[in-house]
Amino acid sequence: MKITVVGTGYVGLVSGACLADVGNDVLCLDLDASKIKILNEGGIPIFEPGLQDMVNRNHKAGRLSFTTDVEQAVAFGTVQFIAVGTPPSEDGSADLQHVLAAARTIGRHMRDYKVVVDKSTVPVGTADKVRAAIAEELKQRGADIDFSVVSNPEFLKEGAALEDFMRPDRIVIGSDDERATAIMRNLYGPFQRSHERVITMDVRSAELTKYAANAMLATRISFMNELANLAERLGADIECVRRGIGADPRIGYHFLYPGAGYGGSCFPKDVQALMRTAGEADMKLLILDAVEQANAAQKQVLGAKILKRFGPDLKGLNFALWGLAFKPNTDDLREAPSRVLLAELLARGASVTAYDPVAMPEARHIYKAENRVRFADSPMAALEGADALAIVTEWKEFRSPDFQRIKQLLRTPAIFDGRNLYDPAEVRKNGLEYYPIGRL
């Protein structure tokens, strides 16, 4: 099948590469000529494990191409995926200008039937706006061309996106048109050979499903973070509590790990957008309001532990920071807890030496004007001359360190662990002070 993907960001590039990998002919469109240049030269503009190889393999095979030519892209695919960014506006709502611009472009250039697929995360009612934008362009042209608009939200985890696309838990198709539904089922056939994964529904329900999924996961995280803070005050161990409640099959173990708060490009944005959508429907989502407040507070917890140990004035102190990305296997620093901790330490007069296996190039760009933020080539190098260690991202290479070496390098043998990576007794047995989240 011939497919056009509008947008070569995270969702667009992953979707295009995976669809090409099962034999489709995919043309990715982006108006950013620098991105297309990178892709045509064998690079990729984002980090995602395995994506570079998949893109290069399919590009070399001729199944995956990249262009800035709008007319060519619209003419190419019967299925037109819109996978452009929907950043939050100042009021928290999703900014649809790029989505609607893509829709108008399709309407302006289409010559035959198209299935226009909203792949971007968009508020309920966006498909209606996309349909209206395309119809208006066709009307201005005096063209009578049939088209369908479908909602097909993505459920990709940064760091595991290829696995999520190639072996999905579910494939949600929101469609009110039998012809479009049949085309989408055929498109996703290769991804559900072992059992049925397609869930069909009306368009508005599909749009809401994406926001509901991310809001539910964010809620679990914030709930566990609050329980962890309570456990500390009560003298309980949140790890024991996690195992105790996770064993209940009605609850399960997923997303029950307390930490320094959630971040990234999805959860914060989608929680805010869903709250805004509810407000437009004359309703207040009380739980999500609390989730957002709890997450903002949780990002302050690690800094508060450091201030309690060292006092409010951190001038002259240097802290090692392990992890910058909001989660492992990504270079994404958007809404990352590390940035909140860094801001607190810098405001108190401290300096920071950070290490992250992937996110340092982006961090160097963000903190290029801050001379009190330095970067190390390895985890242990970050400890040299440091007064204490803070851990904010649970990268695998941090999981089993040499605690004696850490003790030797730190001026104060203290670890502030925002991801509960270690057994408290093991760390303290090695002569280190240990400050986790909600553990004894």
Q: Is 240 a catalytic residue?
A: no
Q: Which tokens hold the place of 353?
A: 């030496």
CA distances from 220 to 66, 245, 248, 436 (A): 39, 12, 15, 19
Instruction: Kindly list the strands in the beta sheet with 433-435, ordered across the sheet, starting from the edge strand earlier in the chain.
Output: 373-375, 351-355, 318-322, 388-391, 414-417, 433-435
Q: What are phi and psi of 401, to 5 degrees?
A: -85, 170
CB 82 within 8 A of CB 114: no
Q: How far apart are CA 200 and CA 190, in angstroms?
A: 17
CA distances from 24 to 63, 157, 160, 187 (A): 7, 23, 22, 9
Q: Which tokens hold the place of 423?
A: 């057994």
- What is the H or E stretch that residue 375 is in? strand 373-375
Could you say which of 18, 28, 240, 266 is catalytic?
Answer: 266
Q: How far apart are CA 255 and CA 239, in angstroms?
A: 13
Q: Identify the CA nearest to 15 among candidates 104, 79, 94, 101.
A: 79
Q: Is 122 left (phi over 0), alpha (psi -120 to 50) or beta?
A: beta
Q: How far apart are CA 147 and CA 73, in angstroms?
A: 16
* Residues designated catalytic: 266
